[in-house]
Amino acid sequence: MYFFKKFIGTLLMPLPLGLALLAAALVLLGLTRRQRLGRWLALASLLLLFLTSSHWVAWHFDHFLTVRYPPWRVSAHSLKNAPSVVVVLGGGSINDARLPPVAQLSLVSLDRLIEGIRLYRALAPVNPQARLVLSGGGKPAGSGDAGIMRQVALSLGIPGSAMRLETRSLDTASQARRLKPMLGTHPFLLVTSAVHMPRAIALFQAQGLHPIAAPSDRLGLGMAPRWQAWQPDPANLNDFTAAWHEILGRAWAGLRGETR
């Protein structure tokens, strides 16, 4: 089911979907008499790719997901009432021994880890029980996100005794399930991308857990000038894809009864 979900989800992303529509249009225009349908499919492909690579569309989709959860601010008041556990959700990595650990992490995972380390270092001086929990599986064991994030955290001075790993999950829903025995009913800071935070919070809360949002990287900060709002750009397509992935993921989780 996991690989089926990933396959279908990939096909529904704007770039693969747009290219599929264009390929179908070329087949119809070149090999059949259904010229009108072919022209409509070609137009739909161009419109899809143009709109999803414009800043105006990408910004509104990203803003819809990220505005709800602002960054977790470190202050005397927040530290006084802060939980002792910081949970960092992995966001992708490659297992290649030729590269240093930091280069094996995706930029998303690296952003999340750096934010998690920042929060742990703020908590540790006022709470000796502070812990950094790193989550994300892979095969072989220890080669996934969590294991590589641990190597990077060690190189940045985080003691191994302060870290806990969850190395068997393959997606956010399984992270919530597998972290439940480790986290219990205590509140914890949940570090993940801002665009991913609404779905992550919903999945963790559905397991009876008590996450406190601490988003890391944020997409689409600030609206571009009006003359640039409709200018196609690969960065906008990437931002829209991330937001669309989360919307589809939330819908899938709802269909499977994984969220309330």
Share of the chain above pLDDT 90, in %: 74
Other C-beta atoms closer than 10 Å to the C-beta of 146 total: 28
| 189 lies in the same domain as 119 | yes
Q: 109 and 185 in one domain?
A: yes
219 inside domain: no
Query: What pLDDT score does 42 carry?
Result: 97
Query: Does residue 133 have a pLDDT over 70?
Result: yes
Asked if residue 196 and residue 77 are part of one domain, the reply reads yes
Residue 120 has pLDDT above 90, yes or no: yes
Name residue 25's amino acid: A
Query: Is 184 a member of any domain?
Result: yes
229 lies in a domain?
A: no
Mean pLDDT of 71-88: 91
The per-residue pLDDT for 228 is 75
Residue appearing with tokens 């999950």: 169
- Is residue 128 domain-shared with residue 38, that is, in the same domain? no
pLDDT at 86: 98
Residue 191, strand partner residues: 88
pLDDT at 259: 86
- Per the structure, how many domains does the chain have? 2
- Is the pLDDT assigned to residue 141 strictly greater than 60? no
Q: Using CA atoms, how far apart are residues 179 and 131, in angstroms rounded to an integer?
A: 14
Secondary structure of residue 109 in the 3-state scheme: helix
Looking at residue 245, its pLDDT comes to: 95
Residue 249 and residue 134 in one domain: no
112 within some domain: yes
Is residue 209 a part of any domain in this protein?
A: yes
- Per-residue pLDDT for 25 more than 70? yes
- The residues, any chain, with a CB within 8 Å of residue 15's CB and separated by 6 or more, are 49, 237, 241
Beta strands in 65-210 (DSSP E): 85-89, 131-135, 163-166, 188-191
Provide the pLDDT for residue 260. 75
Q: Looking at residues 110-125, what average pLDDT do you find?
A: 96
Answer yes or no: is 140 within a domain.
yes
Domain boundaries, position 142: 73-213
Q: What is the pLDDT confidence band of residue 112, given thresholds at 50, 70 and 90?
A: very high
Same domain, 82 and 169: yes
The stretch 104-116 carries a mean pLDDT of 95
- The CATH number of the domain holding residue 83 is 3.40.50.620
Residue 223: predicted pLDDT: 60
Rounded CA-CA distance 132/86 in Å is 5
Among 58, 62, 37, 83, smallest CA distance to 232 is for: 58
For the cut 90, the answer to whether the pLDDT of residue 78 exceeds it is: no
For residues 243-251, give the mean pLDDT. Answer: 94
User: For 201-237, how does the pLDDT look when each residue is reduced to its tens digit (9 = 90+)?
Assistant: 999 999 999 999 999 987 655 666 666 778 899 989 9
pLDDT of 197 over the 90 cut:
yes
pLDDT for 177 beyond 90: yes
